[in-house]
Structure 1
């Protein structure tokens, strides 16, 4: 009888609501423990580079706030807009307004709901806020979110599990054009048996309208052409893009999903009109992908990366740091590595030249969790990078492995991070 009562108590405990700090977006073991302060916020226990700390702004507990925060944008006055993927199902996403409160809490107001996998968010040249969904880009005024309008429509409906890359992203070019990511509809353009899916010319048949960055020409302030041209092709998934003040556009490529932990490498590409960057034929500097090895000439026709990145790092955001809090980082490329494997869960800062291109080294190494490093190909360019979060691997009872998605630099120069798997907003600042 006693044994049955104990089992019954354990069963009911399993049905109970999540404990404080463990909302439905994060699950058991995803909580960030805190101790002390980091720039006015509770300090997490994530081991950071010297001179930096990570504070916890918010972590979901209960039903308030986003389930899967992705993009971040600061508003005048200190409020923030946060895109919420919601889930990998269409119509579950949202845009939230986050208002930090005196005493350390935050208040959430949902401005727009019913979105399909919203990710990127940015202020446009006309002052409106732009949000990329799976198949369109919206513009709205935070004071009138009910009046949001679609400015780009008809992007492919890349639902996960049917296809592979449903998220859209964008940057505004210098002439006002919108450069929009359209992810590849599969991992490697192969059939279920591993045979290439080809057209009459022996090329991948999936790339006519996808696996590219499209260019939508500006027609007037806040209005773009319905037609598009190919800006750059052969790109599996350009979720992370940035335009430098010099006019150069860079993309961080999420390479294919081979099961080997040390291949293939992700990439940084400088996008130029008409360039083809290798998907699905080629990866790393000149390695033919399985299924396409019989067509090695395609690697020779490829525009090579300006730098490799660690394999399976899964870069999701990149920007140039322009804040005052960390003068040693000014002008450098800031990048989130979101993937779940041993290279990811990191915020990297990469040295750059006057055009914004990463400075690189040869015969370099990249770090892996829980410790150690692995080499890049000896003759390949590797980024000259500083890792701000060297200890963001999983530490039971202290913190999960990081899953940084969106990045933003606040007006005070602190670096804000959206961790979507743990439903948390984090902030890198100077230690108190």
Structure 2
């Protein structure tokens, strides 16, 4: 196939219609307005296994029963005395991530908009007449460069030095004055040109008492799994990935752009907090996926654990060479895990801690004061919770997770919980933002309804066979595939593209992009120049292994690759017919 022939492609997009829950990783990269600094590697970097993702098209349906602080009460389990109120049902939002309480009647909400670049929005919620209403505060059409970078997958909204509101996106960190008449005009980029390619483009930040910024810069790959040497090149590249950056605050409240690498060897730490008691950084690290594909003796639902690290300057945390507490990764059998700092705490496998909140309010029972609340976003059994922990003398969490919100797992038609951001309100309540379910919620406590003790309901290490709805859907889809594909693969008279779907897509792409209840990936017509460019510039070279990430990871699963390439060539020459 030639590039000239590919130039004739019009209007085809491989659209994955997914019904699964978002994993703790991030998707394939898109081109950004500002070109990232190239990664210096000895070997080509592949993004490796691309996890199952969900792009929700409509908000999940939440059952509500009764009232929680004047809001509809979501029908999930909570610690006694707590309730979950529905602030915003999510119509019109795509992927909200954080909610920040500006004052008693205003909330700022970030919406990623998509895993694709520059689709984000910023919303303002206002409380009037005993209800919350939402308006769009900032969208891409309002912003020139360089300010537009803040709408490239915006994740976090947080209070920083001088009580300024900071926004963290994939490509930059900026401040905003959301209550000004023209909020878009107040956006000031503090840190720009951040690396945003690879599986983990999204940024999270926190501050120390001097206002210095600590930033997660997640890894390009899942576990550097296609590296051909004993050294993971992306850790050593420019820019280095899988690291925590420190940006020093200057006297004029700007930031030194020449950052330092505060710590390295962390895959993707989306939950960050500073512990003033001993001047350490807490990180909630989302560990690797698919370890069972490299070592079939391991239970991929129980391993590896996600981690809490207590980080000091210069720490080497072990990714990708080691997992859990000093266990050697299958890809790096010669690694010496004793040379790396061990995690402070192991979170349940694939629980996906996406936000830390050190509670300091007075609404909750006194036991919660200075304790850590954590969102378990995860796509697997241990996710879909808000948990807390006992603590030691350094205020660090210890022991097993104790649930504050749970039973949030789509049973009985209830929407599945996908909590991301946690933010404390001025009244001591906690606002929770869900991305896949597109909800803004309020966690409230009423002492008349219970004493508030968190519940020890989560039993780690108990999964033998996953009987969750996710696994049931996978099993049902697999049975459907066995019946449908056997007949299709032997039929030589099917239309050209149907043969491609059966022999190429369904046999090679569903491992990472499987559509659960769908027997195969669905192909939709979409007349869009960006989609045409993606097919021309990315699909063909990735299939041939000439671009990254190679698709599928490791190459085509076929004993006759030439036959598959010839089939694609015939399809191109036939004018790219599609259903």
Q: Shorter-normalised TM-score: what interval?
A: 0.7 to 0.9
* Distance apart, 1:29 and its partner CA: 8.2
CA distance in 2, matches of 1:291, 1:249: 29
- 2:318 is aligned to 278
- 1:203 is aligned to 231
Asked if residue 346 in structure 1 is aligned to residue 385 in structure 2, the reply is: yes
CA distance in 1, matches of 2:359, 2:59: 32
Asked if residue 141 in structure 1 is aligned to residue 157 in structure 2, the reply is: no
Larger strand percent = 1
Asked if residue 409 in structure 1 is aligned to residue 416 in structure 2, the reply is: no
Cα RMSD of the aligned pairs, angstroms, is: 1.8
* Distance apart, 1:322 and its partner CA: 0.9
Asked if residue 391 in structure 1 is aligned to residue 407 in structure 2, the reply is: yes
- 2:490 is aligned to none
- 2:16 is aligned to none
Render the CA deviation track for 1:224-281: whole Å, top value 9, x for unaligned: 1110111010010011100123232100110001251010000000010000111000
Contact 2:59–2:90 (CA under 8 A) maintained in structure 1: no
- 2:362 is aligned to 324
Secondary structure class of the residue paired with 1:224: coil
Asked if residue 33 in structure 1 is aligned to residue 68 in structure 2, the reply is: no
Aligned counterpart in structure 2 of residue 131 of structure 1, from 154, 161, 167: 167
Secondary structure class of the residue paired with 2:113: coil
CA distance in 1, matches of 2:326, 2:103: 46
Q: Provide structure 2 residue ranges, at least 5 long, that are not aligned to the other structure.
A: 1-53, 141-147, 293-299, 450-579
Secondary structure class of the residue paired with 2:103: coil
* Distance apart, 1:166 and its partner CA: 1.0
Secondary structure class of the residue paired with 2:289: coil
The residue correspondences of 1:73-222 to structure 2 (distance < 5 A) are: 73-113=100-140, 115-142=151-178, 143=180, 144-158=183-197, 163-191=198-226, 196-198=227-229, 202-208=230-236, 209-222=240-253
Larger helix percent = 2
Render the CA deviation track for 1:37-92: whole Å, top value 9, x for unaligned: 0111111111222121111111123x3xx321101211124201111111001000
- 2:83 is aligned to 53
TM-score, length-normalised on structure 1?
A: 0.82
- 2:281 is aligned to 249
Contact 1:27–1:422 (CA under 8 A) maintained in structure 2: no
CA distance in 2, matches of 1:235, 1:26: 29
* Distance apart, 1:189 and its partner CA: 0.8
Secondary structure class of the residue paired with 2:235: coil
CA distance in 2, matches of 1:41, 1:130: 28
CA distance in 2, matches of 1:211, 1:100: 40
Aligned counterpart in structure 2 of residue 307 of structure 1, from 332, 341, 345: 345
Secondary structure class of the residue paired with 1:349: strand
- 1:422 is aligned to 437
TM-score, length-normalised on structure 2?
A: 0.61
Residues 166 and 430 (structure 1), Cα distance of their counterparts in 2 relative to 1, 3 Å cut: same
CA distance in 2, matches of 1:68, 1:132: 15
* Greater alpha carbon shift after TM alignment, 100-109 vs 226-235: 100-109
Secondary structure class of the residue paired with 1:396: helix
Contact 1:101–1:107 (CA under 8 A) maintained in structure 2: no
